[in-house]
Amino acid sequence: MSTEVKVPTLGESITEATLGQWLKKPGEAVAADEPIASLETDKVAVEVPAPAAGVMGALLVNEGDTVNVGAVIAMIEAGSGTTVAAPVAAPTPAAAPAPVASTVEATHAASADLTLSPAVRRLVLELGIDPTKVKGSGKDGRLTKEDVLAAAKGGAPAAPATAPAASPAPAAAATGERREERVKMTRLRQTIAKRLKDAQNTAALLTTFNDVDMSAVMEARNRYKDSFEKKHGVKLGFMSFFAKAACLALKDFPAVNAQIQGDEIIYHDYVDLSVAVSAPNGLVVPVVRNVEQMGFADIEKAIGDLGKRAKDGALTMEDMAGGTFTISNGGIFGGLMSTPIINPPQSAVLGLHRIEDRPVVRDGQIVIRPMMYLALSYDHRIIDGREAVTALKTIKEAIEDPTRLLIDL
């Protein structure tokens, strides 16, 4: 008896995806609800669970193929997987585009008969680790992210970073040889590119800057971080301060938290905060909802959870939907200043940057203070310059005097 494996519902308005990776090979035993494939959509990576227990049968599509919701992509046969011969996978058409996965990773996975999760697979590629030389500590000996990171720190033998897609690499490259590699953009990267360009083409983008003295926030954090973590079970970071400060500013200047829909302006009496985080396939912006009602601990927990799931490729469509205002922290990568692009249909985004000691004047004296540049990019069609500048100044003042966050000033 055979069971069809179909592409699951992927979310509102999502009708197709790209088959990113097969997690099971024909002939392998499969448990019910066990992930057997990963799909890449416009926003997130989605795992396809097995509809029934049995043996992995024929793979009807190849990695890199586009599949529609409801399409049959594989079969699961009855049995235990110990004596069933492996069915032959569908052949790859000669003119089909090369899969996104590199030939290095494919070679390693095939030679070791490994099953890597999407997050582990991406980490292996990023760090250049040969998975056949790393012992897995997960279920059934599978590799985990911690295994790969430990191998990287321990100096595990590294695999070549890339290989030409068109032809096998020579055993030894000649000195000064120039190479190129052509890799198809992932569906997520294509969507990111389109949305960012659409934002530039549609919105009247403008950026206003300010700088903020981080002394007060850093002092408060250092004073209370141990007791905060002991009570709430989460570390006290800077993002919760900026989230609360943003809520203060958005309350006073509702246009910064509004959206244009047709010939109408939609104002929100709530703040659904999109937090830009780095995921294996690119930048994503999951949403923390009703931030204006949350305390510091709740904000830190929510952001930490979304960040972890983004790195693990475990975000859902619901995590990405909505959002009225965005905070992007380029400072974690060392960025000193930038002009962030808004996340449509939102009208503004706050850009944070690295903290560095700089000379400033205080009471007529030159002193050294930990300073950060702030950038607020906004849609000038809906937000006037006065509103944008004053909103950013409100955020600056709240960070420099956190007491304002407590008394709503």
**Tens digits of residue pLDDT in 340-395:** 999 889 999 999 999 999 999 999 999 999 999 999 999 999 999 999 999 999 99
- pLDDT (tens digit per residue) in 112-161: 345 666 667 767 776 777 777 787 776 567 777 778 888 877 754 444 44
Secondary structure E strands in 229-302:
259-261, 264-266, 273-279, 282-284, 287-288
Is pLDDT larger for residue 13 or for residue 311? Answer: 311
pLDDT reading at 32 higher than 60: yes
Residue written as tokens 């549609």?
A: 202
Could you give all domains of the chain from N- to C-terminal order, each with its CATH number?
2-153 (2.40.50.100), 188-407 (3.30.559.10)
Q: Residue 237: pLDDT band by 50, 70, 90 thresholds?
A: very high
- Cα 1 to Cα 133: distance, rounded to the nearest angstrom: 38
DSSP state of 247: H
Q: Which residue has the higher pLDDT, 1 or 70?
A: 70
**3-class DSSP state for residue 68?**
strand
Catalytically active residues are: 380, 384
What value, to the nearest 5°, has the Cα angle with vertex 340 and ends 125 and 387? 155
Angle of the 385-400 helix axis to the 215-232 helix axis, nearest 10: 70
> Which pair of structure tokens corresponds to residue 236?
């006290």
Mean pLDDT over 73-100 rounds to 54
- Digit-coded pLDDT (tens) for 308-320: 888 887 888 788 8
* H or E stretch covering 393: helix 385-400
Q: Which residue from 96, 103, 89 is spatially nearest to 60, judged by alpha carbons?
A: 89
Residue 312 carries which side chain, given as an amino acid letter? Answer: D
